[in-house]
Each structure stands twice: as structure tokens, then as C-alpha cells.
Amino acid sequence: MTRTVAYNIIQLLFVIGFAPLYAGVLSRFKENVQSKRGPSIFQPYRDLWKLFHKDEVVSEETTWIFRVTPYLVFVVPLFVTTLIPVLTDYPLAFAFMGDMLAGGFFLGLAGFFAGLAAVDTGNPYGPMGASRTRMVGFLAEPVFMIVFFTVSFVAQSTIPYIVQQKWVASPAAFFSPAHILLLIAFLMLILAEGGKIPVDNPTGHFELAMIDESKGLEYSGRGAALMKWGGAMKFLVLTCIFLNVLLGPWGLAHGQQLGDVLLAVPLILIKVFLFVIVLVVIESSLAKLRLFRISEFLGAAFIISVAAMIASIFSVSVA
């Protein structure tokens, strides 16, 4: 028991510690591909350090929501981390605390408060970005659910660890058309939720075109740091769900020893780095969609996920 709690804490530290690195490697690599030099991969850490040492300015017009939101945005991905396999392929202490829908609800809670906080300041760009984020969010929600229901249906469980074991380990599920379709649908979802290029431009600094970024415009100092860090962690958590639960168990620790879990850290980092390459290719070769084409993009993701569900239901009922 104490051991699994300790491993859970290692998972949390992994997500807290490497989320900025993930963002840094992604932006550096993207700039390199576009034949620019790009910032150092440790730049996000320096940004966080700088922001934590700056004074925070909070408008007098804001309410408690504005103050609470950065902490929520920071903490919520950590809650989700306790539910999903980040480093180990066997359930840890808090694995049965909640299922995948609980994870979705947690992330939804952070998004909800971030939206409210953006409206709270009265800045004209905040509500605009918040409403756009909600639009992307509610279009993404059905895809989220269908993907989860499909894998849960195959695994007969909604706990991410169990799903990971049943769904990816059994060859009948792994080698099925549904697997490819689900992966593509979830990849499109990650791009939308993480504010990546076909949906949103993460490096854009033009307020009128912002979707995800505009929520944090009014924050300064510690609040801005927490929002940034929380956003990076959320993206890493989604990536871990994609890579570990849906794609495959490679790199996850199988043994119970501490050494196995520590060995999983570089392996998972390598896996995430390979995913960074895929993301960079996507982000560098596509153009940002017009706002009202986003519904088509996520609609396509929805269609693909439903096709996956149908394929898996029929193949399971036959087999």
C-alpha cells in the first residue's frame, strides 16, 4: 500500500516536473523544423521562475473566482494523474478513486472556472476567448465520451488502468480497425483540447484570433505561472492517456520494484518525444482552420469515433 502511494507520488512528480520540458521541447523542435533557432528547451522553466518572482496584479473588479482559478487549473491535472497509468501498468493506490469520466469531469471543472475567470475581469478579449473555448469544449465532449465508452465496452470497465490492460493487451482488441480509428479520433481531440495548430495557434499573440491563450491574458505573476504550468500539465496528461491507455503499454513499468518504476521515466519520456515529432509534423504542415471550420474538424473526429464504436461492437458480438 505505502509502495503504491509512493509510486503515485512519483507519477505526480513526473507530471509536475516534465510538463514544462514537454512544452519546451515541442516549441523548440517546431521552430527548428521551420528553420528557426527557437528558444532553449528549458525556457518554460525559466518563464515559470521569472513569473513566480514577479508581483501579482489583480483587478479590484474581480471576484474570488479570479483568484481561485489558477490554483484549480494547477491542481486538476494532478487529480487526473492519480487516476491514469503514467509510469506503471498496474493499478496504484488511488486508481479506483474515479474512472475515466471522472477524469473528464475534473478537466471540465478547470475549463469551466478558467472560462468564468476570463469573463470575470471585464477585459473584452477574455469573454471572447472563453466562449470560443467553450465552443471547442462542447464539440470535443461527445468525442471524449464515445472514445471512452468504446474502450470501456471492450474492457468491461471504465477504470483507466483496467482499460489499459484489457484493451491494449488482448490482441483481438489491439489488432482491430477500431484501434486505428480511436487513435485518430483521440489525436484530433488532443489537438483541439491542447489548442494546437489546426484548431488554435499556440504561439499566436494576436488577441482577436486567440482561443485558448486568451483565458490567461489578465493573469500576472504567480497566477500566470500557475495557469501556464497547469495548461502544460493538462496537455501532458492527455498525451499520457493517448500514449499509455489507447496506443500501447510500451515503456510502462511492469515490475513492482522501485527500479522498474524509475526506469519507466526515461522510457515514457522517449515515447512522449516520439509523439512530439508527430505533433511537430502536424503543426508545421497544416494551416489554422477558420473558426467555423472547427466544428467540421471535431465533427469528423466524432464520426471517426462512432465508426470505431460500431466496428468494435460488431466485432466483439461476433467473436
Between CA 23 and CA 231 the distance in angstroms is: 10
Q: How far is CA 157 from CA 60, 154, 165, 248, in A?
A: 48, 8, 10, 17
Is there binding between residue 177 and other proteins (CB under 8 A)?
A: yes
Q: Which is nearer to other proteins, 2 or 285 (CB)?
A: 285
> Which residue number, 51 or 304, has a Cβ lying nearer to other proteins?
304
Hey, what's the torsion of the CAs at 105, 109, 112, 117, to 10 degrees? Answer: -170
For residue 317, state whether it binds other proteins (rule: CB under 8 A). Answer: yes
Please tell me whether residue 178 binds other proteins under the rule CB under 8 A.
Answer: yes
Q: Is 250 in the site for other proteins (CB under 8 A)?
A: no
Taking the C-alpha atoms of residue 34 and residue 284, their distance in angstroms, rounded to an integer, is: 7
Q: In the complex with other proteins, which residue's Cβ is closer, 172 or 277? A: 172
SS3 88: strand
Decide whether 178 or 240 has the Cβ nearer to other proteins.
178
- Residue 309 cell numbers, joined: 464504436
Stretch that binds other proteins, among 124-132, 176-184, 232-240, 245-253 (CB under 8 A): 176-184
296 binds other proteins (CB under 8 A): yes
Dist CA 187 CA 271 (whole Å)? 15
Of 175 and 206, CB closest to other proteins: 175
Contact 24, 44 (CB under 8 A): yes
Asked if 179 interacts with other proteins (CB under 8 A), we say yes
Binding footprint of other proteins on the chain (CB under 8 A) = 170-172, 175-181, 184, 295-296, 299-300, 303-304, 306-307, 310-311, 314-315, 317-319
